[in-house]
Amino acid sequence: MKKVIASALCLTMAAAMFAGCSKSSSKAKGEINLYTFTDEVVKMSEKYKELHPDFGYDFKVTQIATDGGGYQQALDAALAAGGADAPDIYAAEAAFVLKYAQGAASEFAAPYEDLGIDVNAKIQEAGIAQYTVEIGTRPSDGKVVGLGYQATGGCMIYRADIAQEVFGTDDPAAIKDVVGGGSGNWDKFWEAAEQLKAKGYGIVSGDGDIWHSVENSSSSGWIKDGKLNIAPEREAFMDMSKKLKDNDYHNDTQDWQEGWYADMNGTGPKGVFAFFGPAWLINYTLGEHGADQAGNYRVTEPPVGFFWGGTWILASKYAAEASDEKKAAIADFITWITLDTSDEGLQYLWANGKMNENGTKDCVASSVVMDKSDGKSDFLGGQNMFEYFVPANAGANGKCLTESDENINTIWRDQVRQYTAGEKSKEEAIADFKSAVNEQLGIPS
């Protein structure tokens, strides 16, 4: 019996293993070390070699998942160690890009101009979204060390059937008025929430949906003069979260958990009207988890503008010290990703769904590229999403970010949840938030 089980398992294993791959190595001038946490950048390196057969260098790709901080740990150690394996080009996500572009690890980054890229002129020429430049600019010398390819300005993505039922229309311009799109305040949003509740719907899935909108539109960041600073907008988020919960305006889900995904597909406890996010949320998350609702979503302007996420590309100081030939190759590749506005440039391919096997379109940083791209999406019932996302990208700002945001946000959201769930008072939650930030991050208040 045991033998039977064991051999059956072996067979299953063998069956599962047939996906072997072999890589052929061609003769190349050398290797460029590329560190990334996402396979998007891996695909870009392959596409680039395909488009530029005379490139001459091989990409030695190191892809590490962000699990448990593994990517940053390996990248930090590799940057600090230097040598032949040191990263030449590396990717950083919005949650931690500030550490590499402005904070503790920024000294490892090389300014784009040191690679021979005429960065300021090209940024102008391509019309790169201002906030991505702000985030990628190192404060110590005011030079651009990183740029993104995406633009991640956020919109409100709502369900057409619910809009039709509750508000009598699913027209984006009309819905914009219903929720007070572009008004800069949440007054009409609450009115809409009450109307939706009357018909048994929630306006959002959880408080996380409006948090990003609050976070990236507030007047100041988490840290001011080395001390913890709670911007009034962020403090007001506590009341918003409480209001959503007490009035039953949402399903009280947490972002990135099963309940949140279920709401995208309309299978939660009650139907959810809207999600707040950039174009990538549609492509990656809503598209993946809301397949039953395909064609039923529309995009309109949110009450308060914001941005969320994105990936930045940096070159290391080791790349800037390389031979002129290698430096030029690195510069060409980075330019192709971040600054090239031609129809062969990454951003055009990206915006028009020519990089992904399923043809999903995404917003990119260059407004020049956006102007000549078409954002019609079947998932949005044929709506051209760029109509709303392009202005959203212009409205985003990266001024009140700090490198500790990821950590502070986690503590903050946790305390807000405690308050919202009635576990503690607002004052206690704020006091505990301050204490936890000081104890765990060493930031006094």
Partner 1 sequence: MNKKKSVNYAKFGYIFSIPFVVAYLIFQLYPVLYTVVIGFTDLEGLTTPVSSMHILSNPFQNFIDILKGSGAGSFRLCLFNTVVMWVCNFIPQIALALLLTAWFTDDRSKIKGQGLFKVLFYLPNIITAASVAILFQAFLSYPIGPLNSIRSSILSTFSSNFDGKGYNFLNNKAFTRGVVSFIQFWMWYGNTMVLLIAGVIGIDPAIFEAAQIDGASRTQTFFKITIPCIRTILLYVLVTSMIGGLNMFDIPHLLNRGGPDGATTTTAVYIYKQAFQNPRYQYNKAAAASIIMFVIIMILTLCLFYILRDKDEEELKKLRKKERKALKHQA
Partner 2 sequence: MSSQSLSKSRDSFLIKVVVYVVCIILAIISIMPFWIMLVNATRNSEQISSHPISLIPSSHLIDNKNVFEKKPSFQPVTGFINSFIVSTGATVCALYFSSLTAYALSAYEWKLRDGFFKFIMGVMMIPAQCTMIGFFKMIYSLHLTNNLMILIIPAVASPAVVFFMRQYLQSSLSMEIVQSARIDGAGEFRTFNSIVLPIMKPALATQAIFIYVGTWNELFRPLVILTEGSKKTMPIMVSLLNGDIYRVEYGAIYLGLAITILPLIVVYIILSKYIVSGVSLGAVK
Instruction: Tell me which of 74, 328, 394, 441 binds partner 2, using CB under 8 A.
Output: 74
- Torsion angles phi and psi, residue 364, rounded to 5: -120, 170
Question: Regarding beta strands 30-36 and 57-63, do their DSSP bridges make them parallel or antiparallel, or are they unpaired?
Answer: parallel
| Interaction of residue 242 with partner 1, rule CB under 8 A | no
Phi-psi group of 154: left, alpha or beta (phi > 0 → left; psi -120 to 50 → alpha; rest → beta): beta
Site string for partner 1, 387-406 (x = CB under 8 A): ----------------xx--
| Interaction of residue 257 with partner 1, rule CB under 8 A | yes
Q: Could you tell me which stretch among 121-129, 209-217, 262-270, 385-393 binds partner 1 (CB under 8 A)?
A: 262-270
| Interaction of residue 4 with partner 2, rule CB under 8 A | no
Instruction: Tell me which of 28, 30, 51, 85 binds partner 2, using CB under 8 A.
Output: 85
Q: Which residue has the tokens 């510069």?
A: 331
The nearest distance, CB 105 to partner 1, in angstroms, is 6
Instruction: Tell me which of 27, 256, 427, 442 binds partner 2, using CB under 8 A.
Output: 256
Cβ neighbours for 92, distance < 8 A, ≥ 6 positions apart: 99, 100, 101, 146, 311, 312, 314
CA distance 421 to 105: 38
- Torsion angles phi and psi, residue 224, rounded to 5: -135, 120
| Interaction of residue 439 with partner 2, rule CB under 8 A | no
Q: Would you tell me how many other CB atoms lie within 10 Å of the CB of residue 145?
A: 28
CA distance 344 to 332: 13
Nearest to 314 by CA among 41, 60, 23: 41
Rank residues 5 and 198 by Cβ distance to partner 2 and give the closer one.
5
Residue 4 binds: one of partner 1, partner 2, none (C-beta under 5 to 8 A by kind): none
Strand arrangement of the beta sheet that strand 297-300 belongs to: 274-277, 155-159, 297-300
| Interaction of residue 103 with partner 2, rule CB under 8 A | no
**126 contacts 324 by C-beta, under 8 angstroms:** no
CA distance 389 to 278: 7
What residues line the site for partner 2 (CB under 8 A)?
2, 5-6, 9-10, 12-13, 16-17, 19-21, 35, 37-40, 42, 60-68, 70, 73-74, 77-78, 80-81, 83-85, 93, 256, 258, 261-262, 264-265, 267, 280-281, 284-285, 288-289, 291-292, 309, 357
What residues line the site for partner 1 (CB under 8 A)?
67-69, 72-73, 76, 80, 96, 99, 103-105, 107-108, 251-253, 257-259, 262, 268-269, 403-404, 407, 410-411, 414-415, 417-418, 421, 423-424, 431-433, 435-442
